[in-house]
């Protein structure tokens, strides 16, 4: 008795534990269980009419499932399917379908027995297969306990929600029947591909053959081996009362000829010969990919609406959906996709929006015109690492904290365990300006900047911009270890074009039914993420990437230029060239393009973001703006422009550094970055520094004027000597304020001494008036003199060839440059025409060090094969 009592107690405890476990799973899987209503979309479809921003009809929405499964657009009702097909599929897949519930214990036991004897047989019911193919498509075919439990629970829910006939109809609409030009989903695809008829016209022989393909569609490739399965299905149909013996015999004798096969039978239906004479016939006859106009946009609208209204509500009624899509922009984006020259196997995602409102004007989710129908909408649903296209966001944060474009950073390896590299593997060892580092997409200065700015501050800013950095990414975040979609990147760049306001993207304006408004979506008021001056300074950096350097000089964004319009943007490439990006802005438009493979495989090393992604962006943007008045970015108040090292740059007036600051190209470390949380105090300190430097400049000019006023040769020589000494002292003071390293200081002093000696020699040989004029000119020249960091130019491997074109997205591989590409002047706002022969801060390296790619956190610039940290 005690043994029995203990056994009962044990069983009770196990039952309680099982109950608690089941309750826990139900609570944890509430979201998955709610997916059951998704199947209601299979009963409807195409009843939501979508209109663009001008009120023109775009098309009708087609149903999708929250799991991500694609649903055949030719949804059939039960009456549109051959009764023979329904009977054959039930016989083959789940012969007791109409007798058991969601699960079939008998079938499961039979499957276990057969598996033990080496004969693989599935134990899943048709209901479970529907759940697996639709509601749990995002889990895939993982044979895990979790998936099996979810599948069972959802199957029970489906049986409660739908009738057996509805479940069978849903199954025949979504089941996989092989591959043609795209996946063959549902009875209509199968009937048209294998036999060239509609699903309603299938006879018993054809239906039984299609049923034999369901466990494994590759059986099509060996008709001889699997012909006996047809006899087995027919025999079982007779046994189950779904066909008579006479009907089964007639079906066996029917001269069945699947597409592409040449088959001969004898009079009794026995196979004499079978040859796959046309292996391409199945692909040729299969339905063409159903890529409609604005397919990517419609997909995004359908998912947005489903979240707002629910799928069952959306497809039960006849509604009209008004959207933000601009037909001209969408047409231009699709043309750019069709004409895009992509590496083999690559696809793309493209998003355009209005930066003033966040309204999405165009979306393209895949490469169009290649005969492949991608299930995934890369414009909105892809999350791929962005590479160097993240860098302008970091640099602009530095500008917000008091840095200037002319401030300098060391291009040299870091201290510590994390050792990123410039793409080329080389470094100059000297200081480069922020502008130069971004123009050439250097990784080492960028990571140093992130260290000084602070990663926590950068992460917070990225979140304000609608991006979601992974926790604990670390320093690799600075050079691209962030996953985002093209739409997210387009929205993150939009504040550069609208004065610093982030708007969440909007697709839908309203939904109506019978004239009654069901839903109104108003644009958000926006969140200020940059002040106007900072946004404009960041924009100026982006314009530099596109315009500062020609392809001959290593320009990264050259092919994004639009004639007559201002353009700014940045390329991006990730590790092993898995992702190519270009994100950019022009007045009235912000957009981003991603190119890569759906399977995340690497692209060829010769695929460059500036050569692949940038031209797609340019084609889409220029077409979207065609016919519209040319607009310009307007500089806000307290912005001025100066040439530093031959490059026109924008500065805050109160942080400009005065006359000498413009000449000496900024500081090595601004006061603001010393105390990043006290920007105002830093700005005040910089303003004080500016006043001091301006006074020094005025003193230098006064000395030059006194030198000019001298009339006789002896007085002129004495004044010139004084001027040289005073100017050398001014140079030394300016260099000290800029915190330039000791080597640069020594070079500056040596240069000043040599210049003084030269002036003395020349003045001795000239008359009094010429000497006075020479002293004045020399004083001005000495004030403008700035020692340059010495960079080590990369040796050319082919001394006789033209300088190479760098990888505009980050690979460093080169190509010859057309001889007619010449440097273009960079005209500053306000009509100031800058010098058209820029002198860079360092000798131009024609193979720029672009973003060390990183698919994973390896976008860090770590050595090949070493993960970023």
Give pLDDT tens digits for 579-618: 999 999 999 999 999 999 999 999 999 999 999 999 999 9
Nearest to 519 by CA among 44, 43, 48, 66: 48
**pLDDT value, residue 60:** 84
Which band of pLDDT confidence, cut at 50, 70 and 90, is reported for residue 774? Answer: very low
pLDDT tens column, 310-369:
766 676 678 899 999 999 999 999 999 999 999 999 999 999 999 999 999 999 999 998
- Is the confidence at residue 177, as pLDDT, over 70? yes
Average pLDDT score over residue span 79-101: 91
Reduce the DSSP state of residue 495 to 3 states and report it: helix
- Is the confidence at residue 679, as pLDDT, over 50? no
Average pLDDT score over residue span 790-807: 34
pLDDT tens column, 702-721:
444 444 444 444 444 554 44
pLDDT tens column, 57-68:
998 886 655 444
**pLDDT value, residue 135:** 59
Average pLDDT score over residue span 681-687: 45
- Is the confidence at residue 87, as pLDDT, over 80? yes
Beta bridge partners of 275: 262
pLDDT tens column, 444-477:
999 999 999 999 999 999 999 999 999 889 999 9
- 354 CB-near residues (< 8 Å, 6+ apart): 324, 361, 588, 589, 590
Residue that wins the pLDDT comparison between 128 and 151: 128
**pLDDT value, residue 25:** 54
Residue that wins the pLDDT comparison between 582 and 185: 582
- Is the confidence at residue 228, as pLDDT, over 80? yes
Reduce the DSSP state of residue 579 to 3 states and report it: strand
- Is the confidence at residue 301, as pLDDT, over 60? yes
Q: State the Cα–Cα distance between residues 841 and 796, nearest whole angstrom.
A: 20
Cβ atoms of residues 577 and 480 within 8 Å: no
Residue that wins the pLDDT comparison between 41 and 833: 41
pLDDT tens column, 249-275:
999 999 999 999 999 999 999 999 999
Q: Is 715 exposed, middle or buried (0-12, 13-18, 19+ CB in 10 A)?
A: middle
**pLDDT value, residue 157:** 79
pLDDT tens column, 641-674:
999 989 999 999 964 444 444 444 455 555 433 3
Residue that wins the pLDDT comparison between 143 and 129: 129
Range with top average pLDDT, 140-154, 559-573, 704-718, 730-744: 559-573
**pLDDT value, residue 124:** 81
What integer best gives the mean pLDDT of the chain?
76
Which band of pLDDT confidence, cut at 50, 70 and 90, is reported for residue 746? Answer: very low
- Is the confidence at residue 85, as pLDDT, over 80? yes
The answer, as to whether pTM is greater than 0.85, is: no
**pLDDT value, residue 824:** 35
Radius of gyration of the chain (CA): 35
- Is the confidence at residue 821, as pLDDT, over 80? no
Q: Say what percent of the chain tops pLDDT 70.
A: 64
- Is the confidence at residue 756, as pLDDT, over 50? no
CA distances (Å), 125 to each of 98, 716, 855, in order?
A: 10, 105, 40
Backbone region of residue 46 per phi and psi (left: phi > 0; alpha: psi in -120 to 50; beta: other values): left
The label of the residue with tokens 């209601």 reads 40
**pLDDT value, residue 794:** 35
- Is the confidence at residue 744, as pLDDT, over 60? no
**pLDDT value, residue 43:** 55
pLDDT tens column, 400-409:
999 999 999 9
Per DSSP, helices labelled H in 183-294 are 186-195, 204-213, 223-239, 245-253, 281-285
Which band of pLDDT confidence, cut at 50, 70 and 90, is reported for residue 515? Answer: confident
Cβ atoms of residues 555 and 614 within 8 Å: no
**pLDDT value, residue 166:** 87
């Amino acid at each position: 008795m005690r043994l029995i009592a203990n056994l009962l107690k044990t069983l009770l405890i196990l039952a309680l534990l099982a109950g608690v476990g089941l309750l826990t799973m139900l609570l944890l899987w509430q979201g998955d269980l709610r997916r059951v209503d998704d199947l209601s979309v299979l009963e409807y479809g195409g009843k939501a009419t979508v209109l663009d921003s001008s009120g023109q009809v775009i098309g009708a929405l087609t149903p999708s499932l929250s799991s991500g499964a694609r649903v055949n657009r030719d949804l059939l009702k039960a009456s549109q399917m051959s009764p023979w097909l329904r009977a054959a599929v039930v016989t083959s897949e789940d012969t007791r379908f109409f007798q058991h519930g969601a699960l079939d214990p008998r079938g499961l036991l039979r499957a276990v027995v057969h598996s033990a004897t080496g004969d693989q047989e599935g134990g899943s019911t048709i209901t479970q297969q529907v759940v697996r193919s639709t509601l749990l498509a995002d889990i895939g075919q993982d044979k895990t306990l979790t998936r099996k439990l979810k599948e069972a629970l959802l199957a029970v829910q489906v049986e409660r929600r739908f009738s057996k006939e509805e479940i069978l109809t849903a199954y025949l609409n979504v089941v996989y029947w092989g591959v043609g030009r795209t996946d063959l989903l549902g009875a209509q695809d199968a009937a048209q591909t294998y036999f060239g008829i509609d699903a309603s016209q299938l006879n018993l022989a054809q239906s039984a053959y299609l049923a034999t393909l369901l466990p494994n569609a590759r059986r099509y490739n060996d008709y001889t081996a699997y012909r006996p399965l047809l006899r087995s299905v027919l025999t079982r149909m007779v046994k189950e009362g779904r066909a008579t013996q006479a009907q089964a015999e007639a079906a066996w004798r029917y001269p069945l000829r699947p597409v592409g096969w040449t088959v001969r039978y004898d009079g009794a239906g026995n196979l004499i010969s079978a040859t796959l004479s046309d292996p391409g016939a199945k692909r040729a006859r299969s339905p063409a990919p159903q890529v409609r106009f604005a397919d990517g946009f419609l997909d995004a609208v359908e998912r947005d609406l489903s979240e707002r209204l629910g799928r069952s509500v959306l497809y039960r009624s006849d509604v009209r959906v008004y959207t933000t899509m601009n037909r001209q922009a969408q047409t231009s984006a699709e043309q750019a996709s069709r004409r895009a020259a992509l590496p083999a196997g690559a696809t793309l995602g493209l998003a355009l929006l209005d930066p003033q409102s966040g309204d999405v004007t165009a979306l393209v989710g895949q490469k169009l015109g290649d005969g492949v129908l991608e299930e995934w909408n890369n414009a909105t649903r892809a999350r791929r690492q962005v590479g160097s296209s993240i860098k302008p966001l970091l640099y602009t944060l530095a500008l917000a904290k008091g840095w200037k474009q002319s401030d300098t950073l060391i291009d040299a390896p870091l201290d510590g365990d994390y050792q990123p590299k410039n793409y080329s593997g080389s470094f100059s060892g000297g200081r480069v300006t922020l502008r130069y580092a971004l123009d050439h997409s250097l990784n080492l200065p960028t990571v140093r900047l992130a260290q000084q700015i602070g990663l926590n501050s950068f992460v917070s800013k990225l979140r304000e911009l609608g991006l979601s950095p992974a926790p604990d990414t670390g320093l690799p975040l600075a050079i691209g270890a962030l996953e985002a979609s093209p739409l997210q990147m387009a929205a993150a760049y939009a504040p550069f074009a609208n004065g610093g306001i982030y708007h969440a993207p909007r697709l839908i304006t309203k939904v109506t039914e019978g004239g009654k408004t069901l839903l109104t979506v108003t644009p958000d008021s926006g969140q200020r993420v940059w002040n106007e001056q900072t946004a404009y300074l960041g924009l100026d950096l982006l314009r530099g990437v596109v315009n500062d350097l020609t392809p001959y000089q290593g320009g990264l964004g050259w092919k994004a230029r639009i004639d007559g319009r201002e353009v700014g943007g940045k390329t991006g490439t990730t590790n092993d060239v898995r992702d190519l990006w270009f994100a950019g802005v022009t007045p009235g438009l912000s957009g981003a393009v991603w190119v890569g493979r759906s399977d995340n495989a690497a692209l060829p090393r010769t695929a460059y973001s500036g050569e692949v992604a940038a031209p797609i962006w340019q084609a889409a943007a220029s077409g979207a703006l065609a016919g519209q008045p040319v607009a310009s970015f307007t500089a806000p108040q307290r912005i001025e422009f100066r040439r530093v090292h031959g490059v026109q740059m924008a500065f805050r007036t109160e942080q400009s550094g005065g006359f000498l600051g413009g000449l000496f190209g900024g500081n090595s470390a601004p006061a603001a970055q010393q105390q990043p949380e006290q920007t105002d105090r830093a700005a005040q300190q910089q303003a004080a520094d500016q006043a001091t430097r301006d006074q020094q400049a005025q003193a230098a000019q006064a000395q030059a004027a006194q030198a000019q006023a001298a009339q006789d040769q002896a007085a002129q020589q004495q004044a010139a000597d004084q001027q040289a000494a005073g100017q050398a002292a001014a140079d030394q003071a300016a260099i000290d304020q800029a915190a330039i390293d000791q080597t640069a200081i020594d070079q500056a002093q040596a240069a000043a001494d040599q210049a003084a000696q030269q002036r003395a020699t020349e003045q001795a040989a000239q008359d009094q008036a010429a000497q006075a004029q020479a002293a004045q000119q020399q004083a001005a020249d000495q004030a403008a003199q700035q020692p340059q960091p010495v960079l080590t130019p990369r040796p050319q491997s082919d001394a006789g060839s033209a300088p190479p074109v760098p990888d505009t997205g980050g690979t460093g591989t080169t190509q010859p440059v057309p001889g007619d590409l010449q440097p273009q002047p960079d005209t500053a706002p306000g009509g100031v025409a800058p010098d058209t022969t820029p002198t860079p801060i360092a000798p131009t390296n024609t193979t720029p060090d672009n973003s060390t790619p990183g698919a994973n956190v390896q976008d860090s610039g770590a050595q090949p094969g070493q993960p970023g940290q």
